[in-house]
Amino acid sequence: MWNPEMETLPRSELEKIQADRLRKAVARVYHNVPFYREKLDQAGIKPEDIKSVKDLRRLPFTTKQDLRDNYPFKLFSVPQDEVVRIHASSGTTGKMTVVGYTKGDLAVWAEVMARTLGCGGVTNRDIVQIAYGYGLFTGGLGVHYGAERIGATVIPISGGNTKRQLQIMQDFGSTALACTPSYALYMAESAPEQGISLGDLRLKVGFFGAEPWSNNMRKEIEAVWNIKAIDIFGLSEIIGPGVSSECLEQNGLHVWEDHFIPEIIDPATGEVLPYGEKGELVFTCITKEALPLIRYRTRDISILYPEPCLCGRTHMRMNRVLGRTDDMLIIRGVNVFPSQIESVLLEIGETEPHYQLIVDRDGNLDDLEIWVEVSAELFSDEVRKLEELGAKIKREIMSTLGISARVKLVEPKTIPRSEGKAKRVVDRRDVYIR
């Protein structure tokens, strides 16, 4: 364990810490962020009304739309000269979700990531190969600072270049791998082509997250790599990776509750649900300085389990993510909303307003195909024109969303019509199975 004292703190003491930090966090946002002052005033709540964690449910929610409305920095709770880092992830319609960190936030992030890596047994004797993307995405740098905090040897290779990943893993003797679960499977599949035998590597543990994966996928990863596969969860708005992590018991993910308070709500009514019930995960940041979000609705579906864990950690566990309450897809680690693809198509304006996204796994890599209807005239026109339009859409999708997609232009009325909500997505990957 990285921080045994805090990770095994009796719940009564943990709750005292939470209450104290929650009070301070609410006062901080009330005084520093006009958005929160207005929201609390509207709800008739003063910071002094918040005395214990039970009072949390009186506070209003924060949503992704709120971040969008306050783009890019208006929800920040400190002056810009105290913000030392920015990250971002894709938002619902074009604009990014922007998050900021103070020096103190980076220290908290390194701490919770050190605990996360400690959950899988990483120490300063380990060599951690970080194959999450570096850059605006929180995966690479998040794991990086946690591994450095532990004193492990870090290989900041970032994502992609599979041949080099495998070569380095073999030559440098990496003992821990951090990447998306689908990339771990893809890497495994590529190893034989390079004459690398996974059984001969020193790898013993992997930290996989940033996208949904099933227990069957875990079994497959553990079997082909001969490692323990640990599920790690987080989202940029809360801190990045390091919100929660499985321990070696692999029976739910410990939420680092001295920094983030979890709740489960009924997504339709907003009512808080009892522990053990399935609903939408909501987090409150109680130590963040730059962007301390209050009751942030994640749209992720899970369950909370407060019972103690066999590993000795007292921090509550959440179920692996069971689904989403919105239509967000995660394609090769990138969050994609169908509405973003729709706005690219509308902007180009040379297609009909009927499209469908077909998401599948090609081997172990996500594959996105976009079907778009074009007018009968265009369809019966020269093939070259169609090809040009297809290439243009592909290029625009790549430049706005950063993902590659295959584009298939089809005749009018090819895409099934529906009487209610159009079925924009056909996802054949089955990743949310328990």
Judged by beta carbon, residue 99 or residue 407, the one nearer ligand DLL is 99
Determine, following the binding rule CB under 6 A, whether residue 245 of this chain makes contact with ligand DLL.
no
- Amino acid in the structure at residue 70: N
Which residue in the set 236, 319, 351, 356 belongs to the binding site for ligand DLL (CB under 6 A)? 236
Determine, following the binding rule CB under 6 A, whether residue 256 of this chain makes contact with ligand DLL.
no
Judged by beta carbon, residue 116 or residue 287, the one nearer ligand DLL is 116
Whether the CB-CB separation of 317 and 251 falls below 8 Å is answered with yes
Q: Count of residues binding ligand DLL (CB under 6 A)? A: 21
Quote the least distance from Cβ 91 to ligand DLL, whole Å. 10
What span, in angstroms and rounded, lies between the C-alpha atoms of 172 and 296?
41
Quote the least distance from Cβ 281 to ligand DLL, whole Å. 8
Which residue in the set 114, 166, 185, 232 belongs to the binding site for ligand DLL (CB under 6 A)? 232
Q: What is the 3-state secondary structure (H, E, C) of 2-44?
A: CCHHHHCCCHHHHHHHHHHHHHHHHHHHHHHCHHHHHHHHHHC
Site for ligand DLL in 209-228 (CB under 6 A): 209-212
Residue in this structure with the two tokens 């041949």, named with its chain if needed: 163
* Contact residues for 381 (Cβ-Cβ < 8 A; gap 6+): none
Give the residue among 25, 14, 99 at the shortest CA–CA distance from 56: 25
Site for ligand DLL in 182-211 (CB under 6 A): 209-211
Quote the least distance from Cβ 413 to ligand DLL, whole Å. 34
Q: Are strands 296-302 and 176-179 parallel, antiparallel or unpaired?
A: unpaired
Determine, following the binding rule CB under 6 A, whether residue 300 of this chain makes contact with ligand DLL.
yes
Give the residue among 184, 182, 137, 188 at the shortest CA–CA distance from 430: 182
Determine, following the binding rule CB under 6 A, whether residue 289 of this chain makes contact with ligand DLL.
no
Whether the CB-CB separation of 393 and 370 falls below 8 Å is answered with yes
Quote the least distance from Cβ 132 to ligand DLL, whole Å. 5
Determine, following the binding rule CB under 6 A, whether residue 231 of this chain makes contact with ligand DLL.
yes
Quote the least distance from Cβ 429 to ligand DLL, whole Å. 13
Which residue in the set 18, 62, 77, 89 belongs to the binding site for ligand DLL (CB under 6 A)? 89
Minimal CB distance to ligand DLL: which residue? 209
Determine, following the binding rule CB under 6 A, whether residue 138 of this chain makes contact with ligand DLL.
yes
Tokens of 154: 């870090």
What span, in angstroms and rounded, lies between the C-alpha atoms of 135 and 140?
7
Determine, following the binding rule CB under 6 A, whether residue 262 of this chain makes contact with ligand DLL.
no
What span, in angstroms and rounded, lies between the C-alpha atoms of 133 and 357?
24
In Å, how far are 268, 375, 433 from 325, measured between CA atoms? 10, 34, 15
Give the residue among 295, 298, 289 at the shortest CA–CA distance from 76: 289
In Å, how far are 172, 183, 187, 231 from 155, measured between CA atoms? 9, 17, 16, 20
Question: x-or-dash pattern for ligand DLL, window 324-343, by CB under 6 A?
Answer: ------x----x--------
Determine, following the binding rule CB under 6 A, whether residue 133 of this chain makes contact with ligand DLL.
no
Which residue in the set 139, 206, 267, 279 belongs to the binding site for ligand DLL (CB under 6 A)? 139
Determine, following the binding rule CB under 6 A, whether residue 252 of this chain makes contact with ligand DLL.
no
Among the residue ranges 14-22, 32-40, 132-140, 190-198, the one whose residues contact ligand DLL (CB under 6 A): 132-140
Binding site for ligand DLL (CB under 6 A): 89, 132, 138-139, 209-212, 231-236, 240-241, 298, 300, 321, 330, 335
